[in-house]
């Protein structure tokens, strides 16, 4: 079993599901639509869970890539949204992605689970021969940032069209930095 990979998965799934629940859409939804996005992430999360639980030898590259994309995905949020230091040392988002203010603290917790899981999986569970996959996962950060910016613009448009189905903050928050 790869416990840190499980934590990275929990952070990734938590992030995606929290955003859906909070009314700001889900990663890849602007491109795939809601049903296909649900199917896609269900398949990815099921596979990742199986690989993390079994620790299958041949899946180390995929787990390393998952660790890298977990770090990149969480870090992108701190690059794009305003944050301050909590307790004097911990970066903490002040606002993000059209979330209402009362949802931001829980979102921060999810982001930190995601980041810690990715870092710990990358450092503690990645074999030397799979490190290039970890670096490749980290290198997705610019693409993830571009996708997140597109997603926010798309979600704002959806909120304009159907405000009852989307977070009201999407209409009030400015675009990411």
**How far apart are alpha carbons 158 and 161 in whole angstroms?**
5
pTM of the model: 0.93
pLDDT tens string 131-174: 999 999 999 999 999 999 999 999 999 999 999 999 999 998 87
pLDDT tens string 59-102: 889 999 999 999 999 999 999 999 999 999 999 999 998 999 99
Contact (CB, 8 A) for 50 and 5: no
Secondary structure class of 164 (helix, strand, coil): helix
What is the dihedral sign for C-alpha 79, 20, 150, 96? Answer: negative
């Amino acid at each position: 079993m790869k416990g840190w990979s499980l934590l990275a998965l929990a952070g990734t799934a938590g992030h995606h599901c929290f955003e859906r629940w909070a009314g700001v859409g889900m990663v890849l939804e602007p491109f795939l639509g809601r049903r296909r996005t649900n199917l896609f992430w269900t398949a990815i999360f099921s596979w990742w869970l199986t690989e993390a639980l079994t620790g299958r030898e041949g899946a180390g590259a995929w787990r390393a890539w998952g660790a890298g994309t977990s770090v990149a995905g969480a870090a992108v949020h701190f690059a794009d949204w305003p944050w301050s230091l909590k307790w004097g040392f911990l970066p903490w988002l002040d606002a993000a992605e059209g979330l209402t203010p009362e949802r931001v603290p829980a979102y921060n917790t999810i982001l930190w689970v995601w980041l810690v899981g990715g870092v710990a999986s990358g450092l503690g569970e990645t074999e030397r021969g799979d490190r290039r996959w970890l670096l490749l996962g980290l290198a997705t950060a610019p693409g993830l940032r571009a996708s997140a910016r597109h997603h926010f613009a798309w979600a704002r448009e959806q909120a304009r069209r159907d405000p009852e189905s989307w977070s009201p903050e999407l209409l009030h928050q400015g675009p990411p930095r």
